[in-house]
Structure 1
Amino acid sequence: FDQETTSLLRGYDTELETMTRSQKQQVERAEQQQDSDLRISSKKIRSEQERELKLFREGLKQEVRLLKQESDLLPKDQRKTAFRIKRQQQEVEQSDRERSFLDSLNQSHEMSLRRLSDGHREKIALLERQFLQQKQQLLRSRESAVWELEERQLHERHQLARRQLKEIFFLQRHQMLVRHEKELEQIRRFQTRKEEDLLKRQAIERRALPKRIRVEMKAREMMFRESMRISVNAASLPSGLASLAGALNFPDTPDNERDKLRKFQEQEKKRYKAEEQRCELKHRRQLEELRAAADSSVKELEQLQNEKRKMLMEHETMKLKSQDDEYQSELREWRAKLKPRKQKLEDDFALQLEDQEKIVLFVPSAYWKCPELRCRCQFLPPHSL
């Protein structure tokens, strides 16, 4: 930003220096032209006045000749005395008239040159005023460019700070998302391991279930057969004991025994299937409960993570709003200071114009600044004819 401001000011300073140098050269050329015009005009006026002076002096000489002719008409003894007396009177009168005539010529010459010099001075003053106004306009443009640059730099600084803040929060959100993803991955792996452990235990239990049931079935069948064998032995007892065994419902025929054994085996198969179904149902319920607990843990973690993300976004919004408010406050303060700066610039320009007008009023014209020109413009005092 500082480099941009320096470059802008350097460009305007170079342009101002070029303009000032060009204006100075134009003023110098105008002053030189003024001096040349004054000398030419003075020479021209003096040339005309010299002709007038020559005619005036010729008139004086003619008066002397007329006086001599008048004296020649007098008697010879009075001629010389009368001519001398009248000539003395005429010399005094002609000297006064010539002095007055020379004064009028000098005054006319001086007034003509003064009017010409004043006209040139007004032209140069107008030229210098135009140059000053051009310089002031360039300075206005420079200050306007500086003010525009300052306002743009304020906006760019704000946008840069805003982008940096957004990048910081974007990085924080990214890091948070990565961290949350790792947390979710970690809890999922943990739940997966728990589910795998449960499935392993259930698989072991399922594999052990048939063997256990077969062992139980075998033991129960042996017990059942033992009970049937006892029943068969009871059938071979004496009649009194046989009637007692019949009262106790002991089988007394092989067909009945086979039928009971078949029924017993069918019941055992049903019990085996029921045991398998009960085990499968228990395993399914355990797996569902484990998965439900895992889903609940994941949802709870996701809710907590969402709250953290929401808090981060709210913090980002608050920081951005605070930054925007700070920028608006700084912009208002800058604009409040801009008006006095503009007014001071215009006051300085008005004061410069007033000072220039005062300088034009009090600075003498080229005629009065050039003693050599004034000396050349003066006629010699009247000489005797």
Structure 2
Amino acid sequence: MNPNLLFWIPALLRMIFILAGASIVWWLFGPVYGLAVALIAVMALLFIQLSYLSQLGVWLEDPHSSKLPDGWGSWTEIFSRLYRLRRDDERHQADLTEWLARFRQAMHLLPDGVAIMDDVLFLEWCNPAAEKHLGLTLERDKGMRVTNLIRHPDFIDYIILGRYDQPLTLSLRDRKLIVQIIPFENRRQILVTHDATETDRIEEMRRDFIANASHELRTPLTVIVGFLEIASSGTALDPATREAHLKLMTDQAHRMQRLIEDMLTLSRLESIDYPLRSEQVDVKALIEEVAQEARALSGGKHQVSTSVDGPDVMGSAEELRSAFGNLASNAVRYTPEGGRIHISWTNNGGGPQFAVTDTGIGIDQQHISRLTERFYRVDKSRSRETQGTGLGLAIVKHVLLRHGGTLSIKSEPGKGSSFIVSLPGTKA
């Protein structure tokens, strides 16, 4: 039915009822009483209407659905409609509040920085990542011009030129940032920042790895190819020279073989297709095997001792043997003849520990943090003399990552070093 009819029909019926009542009183008691009754009825209706208008005005000051009056007559339908509208509005507002909370939570967890600016570059909002990348503080900097907060010449030029189709690379706060402005709506812009420092570091490591691997392989190949060219040229060599050439080529071939084996080992350790195969490891037998290999490498030039006072563990025996063996062989290579090397396995309460302590040449503190990098050498000439590949400690690091362990290094130049492996405290 038409809403107008729903309003006017009850109103007309009430007026007819008042007129009928006043007419009856007029007929029974005279015109004065009839008019008085009509006036009182109209005043009562007017008072009711004004009362509901007052309640409506009060409700509009705080339009909450639970505070809406019930109403009477036409006001019942009016308040009923207002209640439905307000209830729908509250539901939509609750949904928007929930979505806004989710959006802010997502923006807080986003690793990339996001800052919202108006058309004149005044900061309206930013997430924690943007605060970290750009050195902003939302509470302090909100409402300030971004170009006054980020005083970098390249960023200012980027803003002035307005070429936002391409991102800008900035070196800011010791970080490499990729910055881009995305216009949206009519009076808003989004500033997006991405921290490429780690990506750049990994790319640099990849380039260094390729360069170092190529260099390490090129040296023995050059030696082998050179001797092969001499042999194929038909030049007569005396037996002693020929024997020396063959021995040097054999040594260089073995060096390449060790290097390639270590590179393949690293590749397997980093591959997700090569999961850890955990088993019970007989640590006592493993330590003895590592010590025997160290003695064989030493050739009797060092005093190698062991002590085992710890539990067996769960892990990959092959990988742990590789890690422990690398630490022991390094101790042999960098300890002068007559030095001492002690290999131990203990349980300090927080978990089992493997340690290799030597009386070798030691390592300066500035090198310790980089020792597990691939091909990193403290003394390149000495490393090649000792036939190291430069990948041993990188292998140790990745083995420990797979076993949840850590490596700590204590060293002092001229006094020796201690390499300590700490494994989780779960016993077999």
Q: TM-score range by the shorter chain?
A: 0.3 to 0.5
Q: Structure 1 length as normaliser, TM-score?
A: 0.34
Q: Structure 2 length as normaliser, TM-score?
A: 0.31
Bigger RCO (CA 8 Å, 6+ sep): 1
Identify, as 1 or 2, the structure richer in helix: 1
Identify, as 1 or 2, the structure richer in strand: 2
Question: If you compute each CA radius of gyration, which structure gives the higher value, 1 or 2?
Answer: 1
